[in-house]
Amino acid sequence: MSFDAHRCPNGHVTYPGHTRCPECGEEQTETVDLADRTGTVVTWTTSTATPPGVREPNHLAIVEFSVEGEDVRALGQLTTADGVEIGSEVEPVYADELRDPEAGIREPESHEWDGYRFEPA
């Protein structure tokens, strides 16, 4: 498994990837795995009114990683909100199903449902 950010020839990194780099318009040609890196919590919330198939409460954070001097952010579930603050360090942990693909409005086959949660480091 990998947690892939995408990089263009000019060194801009995004998660997720885009057809063209949002910053310079070049094609993104490389991937960078964030799975073994430590990130920093930019902000977080605990959502208590969740849609069908989503755990309740659902702790969520926006996390920033540094990739060779370029910052890249990702949103994801937190394994716990205990002790989490803006600036806390977290590490990605793989989960094979983040929500029930069958319960929501989106077509289950249209995308992946596994991914990475963030655990306080």
Partner 1 sequence: MDRVAIIGASMTAFGDRDAWVRGLLAEAGDAALRDAGVDGDDLDHLYVSNMASGEFEGQTGVPNALAHDLGALGAYTQRVDQTSASGGAGIYAAWQSVASGASDMTLLVGGEKMTHRTTGEATDVIASLTHPVEYKHGVTLPSFAGLTARKYLDEYDAPRESLGKVAVKNHRNGVDNPHAQFRKEVDLETVLESPVVADPLRLYDFCPITDGSAALLFCPESVAEQYTDDYVVVSGIGGATDTHVVHEREDPTTMRGVVESSEVAYEMADRGPGDVDFAELHDMFTILEFLQSEDLGFFEKGEGWKAVEDGVTDRDGDLPINTSGGLKSKGHPLGASGVAQAYELYVQLLGDAGDRQVEGSVGLACNVGGFGNCVTTTILEQP
For the window 27-46, what string marks contact with partner 1 as x by the rule CB under 8 A?
A: ---------------xxxxx
Q: According to CB under 8 A, which one of 73, 79, 88, 91 is a site residue for partner 1? A: 73
Q: According to CB under 8 A, which one of 10, 27, 55, 89 is a site residue for partner 1? A: 55
Q: Does 22 bind partner 1 (CB under 8 A)?
A: yes
Burial class (CB in 10 A: 0-12, 13-18, 19+), 90: buried
Q: Does 102 bind partner 1 (CB under 8 A)?
A: no
Q: Does 58 bind partner 1 (CB under 8 A)?
A: yes
Residue 108 is which amino acid? P
Closest distance of CB 13 from partner 1, Å: 11
Nearer to partner 1, 9 or 57 (CB): 57
Which one, of 115, 97, 31, lies nearest residue 67 by Cα?
31
Neighbouring-strand partners of residue 18: none
